[in-house]
Structure 1
Amino acid sequence: MKHLTILIFLVLLGCKNEIKREIDRSVYDIWNDYTKSHPDFKNNKIPESWYFHNNEEDANRLAELTVTGKKKAASGLYVWYKEANASLPKIGTKHIITDFDGKAQAIIEIKKVDTIPFNQISTEYAEMDMGTTIDPLKKWKKAHWDFFAGVLRDNGEKPTEEMLIVCERFETIWTTKD
């Protein structure tokens, strides 16, 4: 059961999903464009690339919200990190966000990481994660409860209002439109 949890963690980290396939050329292109404008990073390793969520519609919608700067946060279950013996996200880490097909859309940089119980997520944070000002907390709770409950149920566990959420705040620092 623990191995299944670790596998789920690696696949679904923070509503992130990465299918092992050949990296799309656009991922290299966006990083090259970014490092041409920011030569201090030209010798850095290319960041991990991935898409939000686990389906095409949500992945593409969330990528677009990231490109427009409306989505500024991502959420994952703390238990995934604990069970995988993985470090929490680090401030300053960059990631390349793709659409569902793996085409680069944006580069983000983590600005803040908190661990907060599900039932203490703020409206401000929910707005940053959902990319909307219309009932953000209600939408965040429903979307994340449903997602986390499904993953936990598949692993024989149940969600609780007190489950810890790893809350990553990020800034979109580069897009394909730059």
Structure 2
Amino acid sequence: MRHLAIILLIILTNCKSDTKTESQTKNGIDKSVYDMWSNYTASHPEFQTDELPESWYFHNYEDDANRLAELILNSKKQAGSGLYTWYKDANAALPKTGVKHIITDFNGKAKAIIEIRKVDTVPFNQITKEYAELDMGTTIEPLKKWKKAHWDFFATTLEQNGDTPTEDMLIVCEQFKTIWPE
């Protein structure tokens, strides 16, 4: 009888672990991503045949990724910036208007669906205050903050490849709208 109790405990523990893992992720993607897309397409049947959009988070640090996800949820952050050279080096297409993405927190939990509304390629030194406000999610010195944050980030990534940033390096500027908050 004692052995039977131990075996049952092991089976229950294993089932519970498998259930938790299966309910949390599917193919390495958090279940909340699938749930959000399912809820969105249930309310917008015209997208039911569309594939699950890419899911990702902004930034490479947990606090920043979570803060930016909150700004997107509040529709304060409405833009994102990347280096043109990243696309060129990867032989990747530039972002396209109408494309949707599921934005997550650092741990992969779905926070919002965004849709790209506009894409421009602009030299770093020609970024406007208005665009910086959309990207930074603030009206307090947005251009100054944008230039500092992005220069530092771009410089770090460029230097890893032996390159250096320049004032006229091309920036891919994506403007988006939050179309489905959590």
- Per the TM alignment, residue 37 of structure 1 is displaced from its structure 2 partner at its CA by 0.6
The partner residue of 1:47 within 46, 49, 53 is: 53
How far apart are the structure 1 equivalents of 2:38 and 2:91? 32
Match for 2:89: what amino acid?
E
Match of 2:37 in 1: 31
Equivalent residue in structure 1 for 2:149, among 136, 143, 146: 143
Given candidates 149, 161, 180, the residue that maps to 1:174 is: 180
> Given the alignment of the two structures, is residue 162 of structure 1 paired with residue 168 of structure 2, yes or no?
yes
* 1:64 matched to 2:64: no
- Aligned partners of 1:164 and 1:94: how far apart in 2? 23
Residue type of the alignment partner of 1:149: A
- Summarize the alignment of residues 79-118 of structure 1 with structure 2, pairs less than 5 Å apart: 79-118=85-124
Mark the structure with the bigger radius of gyration: 2
Structure 2: runs of 5 or more not aligned? 1-26
TM-score between both structures, scaled by the size of structure 1: 0.87
Aligned-pair Cα RMSD in Å: 0.7
Matched residue, 1:129: 135
1:77 aligned residue: 83
Q: How many residues align?
A: 156
- 1:44-65 Cα distance to aligned partner (Å, 9 max, x none): 1000000001010110000000
What is the DSSP-based 3-state SS (H/G/I as helix, E as strand, rest coil) of the residue aligned with 1:138? helix
- State the SS of the aligned residue for 1:86: coil
Runs of 4+, deviation exceeding 6 Å: none
SS at match of 1:132: coil
Structure 1 gaps of 5+ residues are 1-20
CA distance in 2 between partners of 1:43 and 1:175 (Å):
21
1:114 deviates by 0.1
CA distance in 2, matches of 1:30, 1:143: 31
